[in-house]
Structure 1
Amino acid sequence: MSLLYWARKLYSLDTLDTRFTHSANPPRAVSESQSQSQSQPQLNQIGRSATTGQDGRPTDSVSQSRWKTPEFFFYYLAFIIVVPLMFKTVIDVSQGQYSKCQLHFSSFDFSVLSALSVESHPTYSSYSHLLSPGWIPGRKVAYRPALIFQDNSDAQFSSFRDNIPSLLGLVVGHPLLHRVYDFFVSRDPKVAKPSASLLAKLRLEQRTQFDYYFALLFILALHGLSALKVLLILFLNYRIAKGLPRKYIPVVTWIFNIGILFANELYDGYPLSDIAKVIKPAEGSLGQVSSLVSCAQWLDGLGGLMPRWQILFKVTILRLISFNMDFYWSLEQLSSSPIEKKQLDPASLSERDRMRIPAEQTSFNPVYYVAYVLYSPLYLSGPILTFNDYISQQRHAPSSITRTRTILYAIRFCLTVLCMELVLHYIYALAISSAAPNWSLYTPGQLSMLGYFHLHIIWLKLLIPWRFFRLWALLDGLDPPENMVRCMSNNYSALAFWRGWHRSFNRWVVRYLYVPLGGGGTRSTERTLLSRARGMFNFLAVFTFVALWHDINLRLLMWGWLVSLFVLPEVVASLIFPARRWHSHPNTYRVLCGIGAVGNILMMMMANLVGFAVGLDGLKGLMEGIVGSYSGLAFLVLACAGLFIGVQVMFEIRESELRAGIKMKC
């Protein structure tokens, strides 16, 4: 097969996640010799069912391809010119250049005795101390051949990056150990012709028992004695589900887990030394430390590889809520089985059915609960898998996992890591923003590119760990959802953006919070405005929770409220300019949508810069630098024109997906 075929397959949506190409149907296993042309008729059939009504008339207009039109050839020319200039702008402010140096030669080495530096930007000295030694040859900030620099100043990503060798050992060792366990501890059906349900039950028991024991060892190695604190929280949450009357489970579950979220932050993981100081204060007039406090401090030192267990426990809280709520909803269907009622094949359920159809009551037991909540590949950062989905995939191996798809996904992950390494070696946006420089020393173009690439680096630093842990789960035989759907620059809708950014968390929020609150309200035409208002209130409540879940601070709370506020123009515009009224003027409607999308993109960038990058003060400095002069305003107009071109290309990408039978909501 041609190299072009494998390149297309490598970056296809089907390789990324079969949920995107088989959203309404169970994912089908694709044989390793199956070509793209062979699977295309199936996708087209799915597309026709999604875009046509029962009478065969289209319900969603799909336009003819515009890729070879003069309009898009102009866009290609703009991309060829603008995109390299964007990279050049931010690279130029991320380096110091040396114009004069004195070299000394000896018989053993070649060294620089002295150098008179002429830095390329006045702020370089303010952030140069944040740079770290790199490895890419030829990337020299100064004329020092032995030292190559990179921007590894982000603590969150650097901790992951520095531990990649150890994590790779886990990714290889854990699935191999699982297979060895399955080989030696395989369960005998004890019948001549076991039924499919019996084999599924044995598979569930075998896999969850391995997950249970490995998870206990894993958190013990990660958190040391603090693993007991984690297990205590798990026990209390389990007792809420199993010990309370059904009607109290949702309220108490949410109160307990949100309380744990705040308590973990306020009490910094409950150090034993702090508890000991309350029980037995300092002794004597000189405030000598008591023996109990000394012992507690020693025990605190046994914190394992990751003593601050509370930092990443927020992901575990989502699984705690998922278990309790799935158990709560399962009590409504004790008298009937949805699988039997709908005559479904339990071995080939769609993801929607795996999430909605409750697990058997016997599955809500302590072993399966601990195995799910502490499932090692997804324990640290997700993606988030619901309890029902976890049990379903443990009973029946997901057909979406194939050797070819997993290998391609691993290659794609490695290329993403390489991309991040190149960016960190050439673009120092993180270090510059961390140093809080004088923004007035940058031109409007430099300011905007620093903010733009800063957001891209944030996107990459989240994408890489999520794909790493998802790859680990795929190698272990479990298929969690992909967290990042599209590149950050391939988004124009605020609503669609949040469906695709941290997608598994978004789906979790919809299932366990947004829908129970009432969702978007009724769709009746008489109450459209009231329905939209209720939906916006629920949206605000959801993003308040999302902001607090990320971190309990004012900046992220402002981010959540800004996101909710910036969604409002899109909602209002959809009411004023409904698509059904523009069927006879598709190009005019496309231009109107493009203008609105440019505003959406600018607002989304501002919200994310406040929440995850420079904060409100930094955003104020950026905005003053851009709009504080005529040259800045002229640049803003040109930037909006560039965004408009990018939006038109985004529109056409989605139209191409519809023509291929892929209908995504982001």
Structure 2
Amino acid sequence: MGTSAANKENFKGSRIEPWKQKELYFLVTYAFVFYVIIIRRSLQLSHDYGKQLFGLRPGWLIPRQLNDVTDAQWRNLRGNIPVLTVVFGIFTLLANLMRAFFNLKVGGMSIIWLLFSLTYLSYLHGACIIFVLSIATVNFLLVKIFAQKKYFPLVIWSYNSFFLVCNRIYEGYSFSIFGQQWAFLDNFRGTFRWHICFNFVVLRMISFGFDYHWRDQDSHFDMEKHCKRCHICKSGKSCYQALQESRPQNDKFAYTTYLCYLLYAPLYIAGPILSFKAFASQLEVTQNTHSVKNVALYGFRWLFSLLLMELMTHLFYYNSFANSGLWKHMSPMDIFIIGYGVLNFMWLKFLLIWRFFRFWSLINGIGAPENMPKCINNCHSLEDFWKNWHASFNKWLVRYIYIPLGGSQKKLLNVWVVFTFVAIWHDLEWKLLSWAWLTCLFFIPELALKSAANAFQAESSFGEFIFREINAVAGAITITSLMVANLVGFVIGPKGINWLLDSFLSKEGLPVLGAMFITFYVGTKLMFHIEEAKKRSC
């Protein structure tokens, strides 16, 4: 009887309420019409302004169609995919053969991958590899000398912050500053600016330092309790968090393992980021979370995403509009379409970049966190968005900055520190600091609303309905704020804020702003339905 009643209750919980079903039909219809309008207008804009835009090159996917390769990051990766594939393919084959033939563990694999990575970096950075190794070596010595001191965090943060800033100011330094006898090395600086990649190395140096500093401390992590809740660990595998909280032996903190972690070829250029302990654990025993079949499917999905990107850049010239400045002379509706298109392009671009390198890392037995676990169009809160955009960096920030500063107990203060660091880490530009501080400002009302929502208890169906509507409105405001912050930070800069406001607060712009808000409201409610569907399927 008890089981039957429970099953009946579960069946009820799995059914969608009639009014929600009708609402869902309306929301899906609205979304369909919205995207038809967006796509149709985007095609028209690209066709009408194609001859006035720069950065367009002859396409290959669609006959007589140009391809928008204005974005430098995407253009560089796209052009180097064949070479990188061959290089990583050779490294992968050799590394796996040596691991299998010689039964190598941490020490052996760290040396193998260090040799491969040094070869890789020699091509990328040429003589500038000296800068990378010198800064990394001093960091290693500082960690070993000061790890047991109370002021260790100050030492490690000061050292790494110093080089994070100086590398940018001096554009990677010139060998001539050390004497004219070294000036000839400036002719051998490789093909890729070392100080750009070094931002990721800084994160890894800090991770190594604190993982070593915390190695004998109680982490307050209950592995037994975690294994009961984690579906991955329940199955006998090891999830990322379990690997990160493992207690590696002191020999895993060796110099060769440290350098291997810093320079590991598949993740060197763009990540994803993983902690030192998680990396070292997988050098010992390769990742078992993803089967060969899953990794292969991951690769095929990446190829499909690549095809989608090619289709997008052949049909819609969003980046070229943004870079040319033409969109500043367009109607508010067109400005919204281009801005929305640019943000979606950015999401897909980073997804392709990060998943490409993560794929090669997975093949080699090192599992890193997925950087884009959720679509950009399926996030209705700032917190949710930043947990799912560059997610591995988010995990790093939480572990090494947010929690040490007090975590959720000082959330309002901590977000300012975290986002300021994120801005400086990306680059020394005012527009990035503007983006960071705008995001922090938008966080304040969201945190206040969340606090109020947690205290609110709906006592009737009508109360739940009102609460849901308020959340949908809040979601629409959040999405609008995210669009503004990201456009300011990565496209128009702080000087463009006034232009953006003037465009949408004008007589012509207000109806567009209203329609945009309604669309985001509808989108938020669709996200609610997706979340509820996931809960029902569990």
User: Where does 1:539-558 land on structure 2 (aligned, <5 Å)?
Assistant: 539-558=415-434
Secondary structure at 1:270 match in 2: coil
Instruction: Select between 245-254 and 372-381 the one with higher mean Cα deviation.
Output: 245-254
CA separation of 1:568 and 1:333: change in aligned 2, threshold 3 A? closer
Secondary structure at 2:83 match in 1: helix
Following superposition, the deviation at residue 297 of structure 1 comes to 4.0
User: Where does 1:414-563 land on structure 2 (aligned, <5 Å)?
Assistant: 414-437=303-326, 439=328, 441-521=329-409, 534-563=410-439
Following superposition, the deviation at residue 205 of structure 1 comes to 2.8
CA separation of 1:266 and 1:342: change in aligned 2, threshold 3 A? closer
Distance in 2 (CA, whole Å) between partners of 1:255 and 1:492 is: 36
Q: Determine the structure 1 residue equivalent to 2:112.
A: 210
Distance in 2 (CA, whole Å) between partners of 1:348 and 1:432 is: 48
User: Which structure has the larger Rg?
Assistant: 1
Instruction: Select between 64-73 and 308-317 the one with higher mean Cα deviation.
Output: 64-73
Distance in 2 (CA, whole Å) between partners of 1:258 and 1:660 is: 46
Q: 1:157 aligns with which of 52, 65, 74?
A: 74
Contact 1:326–1:358 (8 Å) recurs in 2: no
Secondary structure at 1:163 match in 2: helix
Relative to its length, the structure with more helix (as a share) is 2
Distance in 2 (CA, whole Å) between partners of 1:433 and 1:338 is: 49
Q: Determine the structure 2 residue equivalent to 1:132.
A: 57
CA separation of 1:438 and 1:394: change in aligned 2, threshold 3 A? closer
User: Where does 1:569-608 land on structure 2 (aligned, <5 Å)?
Assistant: 569-578=445-454, 580-582=456-458, 584=460, 585-608=463-486
Tell me whether 1:324 sits opposite 2:209 in the alignment. Answer: yes
Secondary structure at 2:438 match in 1: helix
Contact 2:244–2:275 (8 Å) recurs in 1: yes
The residue type equivalent to 1:314 in the other structure is N
Contact 1:401–1:477 (8 Å) recurs in 2: no
Q: Determine the structure 2 residue equivalent to 1:258.
A: 161
Following superposition, the deviation at residue 624 of structure 1 comes to 2.0
The residue type equivalent to 2:122 in the other structure is L
Task: Mark the runs of 5 or more structure 2 residues left unpaired by the alignment.
Answer: 1-5
Following superposition, the deviation at residue 353 of structure 1 comes to 2.4
Distance in 2 (CA, whole Å) between partners of 1:409 and 1:66 is: 36
Q: Determine the structure 1 residue equivalent to 2:254.
A: 365
Instruction: Select between 643-652 and 597-606 the one with higher mean Cα deviation.
Output: 643-652
CA RMSD after TM alignment: 2.7
Q: Determine the structure 2 residue equivalent to 1:248.
A: 151
Following superposition, the deviation at residue 635 of structure 1 comes to 2.2
CA separation of 1:596 and 1:438: change in aligned 2, threshold 3 A? closer
User: Where does 1:651-666 land on structure 2 (aligned, <5 Å)?
Assistant: 651-661=528-538
Structure 1, residues 104-150: CA drift from partner, whole Å, max 9, x if none?
Answer: xxxxxxxxxxxxxxxx35xx555x23212221223x4xxxxxxx411
Structure 1, residues 173-204: CA drift from partner, whole Å, max 9, x if none?
Answer: 221111222244x14xxxxxxxxxxxxxx532
The residue type equivalent to 2:168 in the other structure is E
Tell me whether 1:626 sits opposite 2:528 in the alignment. Answer: no
Following superposition, the deviation at residue 583 of structure 1 comes to 5.2
The residue type equivalent to 2:399 in the other structure is R
Distance in 2 (CA, whole Å) between partners of 1:455 and 1:178 is: 38
Distance in 2 (CA, whole Å) between partners of 1:651 and 1:443 is: 32
Following superposition, the deviation at residue 619 of structure 1 comes to 4.0
The residue type equivalent to 1:224 in the other structure is G
Following superposition, the deviation at residue 300 of structure 1 comes to 1.2
Distance in 2 (CA, whole Å) between partners of 1:564 and 1:342 is: 32
Following superposition, the deviation at residue 368 of structure 1 comes to 0.9
Q: Determine the structure 1 residue equivalent to 2:98.
A: 181
User: Where does 1:75-86 land on structure 2 (aligned, <5 Å)?
Assistant: 75-86=27-38
Following superposition, the deviation at residue 367 of structure 1 comes to 1.1
Following superposition, the deviation at residue 75 of structure 1 comes to 1.6
Distance in 2 (CA, whole Å) between partners of 1:183 and 1:483 is: 30
Distance in 1 (CA, whole Å) between partners of 2:484 and 2:105 is: 49
Contact 2:272–2:368 (8 Å) recurs in 1: yes
The residue type equivalent to 1:447 in the other structure is I
The residue type equivalent to 1:415 in the other structure is F
Q: Determine the structure 2 residue equivalent to 1:302.
A: 188
Following superposition, the deviation at residue 88 of structure 1 comes to 1.4
CA separation of 1:63 and 1:638: change in aligned 2, threshold 3 A? farther
Percent of residue pairs bearing the same amino acid type: 32
Secondary structure at 1:129 match in 2: coil
CA separation of 1:580 and 1:474: change in aligned 2, threshold 3 A? same
Structure 1, residues 235-283: CA drift from partner, whole Å, max 9, x if none?
Answer: 000001112243232210000000010110111111112443xxxxxxx
CA separation of 1:462 and 1:394: change in aligned 2, threshold 3 A? same
Task: Mark the runs of 5 or more structure 1 residues left unpaired by the alignment.
Answer: 1-51, 96-119, 141-147, 188-201, 277-291, 522-533, 662-666
Tell me whether 1:94 sits opposite 2:19 in the alignment. Answer: no
Following superposition, the deviation at residue 93 of structure 1 comes to 1.3
Structure 1, residues 473-525: CA drift from partner, whole Å, max 9, x if none?
Answer: 0111111110012111111100111111100000000000000000121xxxx
Tell me whether 1:396 sits opposite 2:274 in the alignment. Answer: no
The residue type equivalent to 2:411 in the other structure is G
Distance in 2 (CA, whole Å) between partners of 1:343 and 1:172 is: 35
Structure 1, residues 397-421: CA drift from partner, whole Å, max 9, x if none?
Answer: 3221212101110111011111111
Instruction: Select between 360-369 and 501-510 the one with higher mean Cα deviation.
Output: 360-369
Tell me whether 1:227 sits opposite 2:129 in the alignment. Answer: yes
CA separation of 1:305 and 1:311: change in aligned 2, threshold 3 A? same
The residue type equivalent to 1:499 in the other structure is K
Distance in 1 (CA, whole Å) between partners of 2:213 and 2:156 is: 10
Q: Determine the structure 2 residue equivalent to 1:353.
A: 242
Distance in 2 (CA, whole Å) between partners of 1:481 and 1:575 is: 29
Instruction: Select between 400-409 and 580-589 the one with higher mean Cα deviation.
Output: 580-589
Distance in 2 (CA, whole Å) between partners of 1:341 and 1:426 is: 51
Tell me whether 1:236 sits opposite 2:138 in the alignment. Answer: yes
Q: Determine the structure 1 residue equivalent to 2:3.
A: none
Contact 1:448–1:626 (8 Å) recurs in 2: no
Deviation above 6 Å: which 4+ runs of structure 1? 336-347
Contact 2:430–2:494 (8 Å) recurs in 1: no
The residue type equivalent to 1:434 in the other structure is N
The count of residues paired between Structure 1 and Structure 2 equals: 521
User: Where does 1:32-47 land on structure 2 (aligned, <5 Å)?
Assistant: none
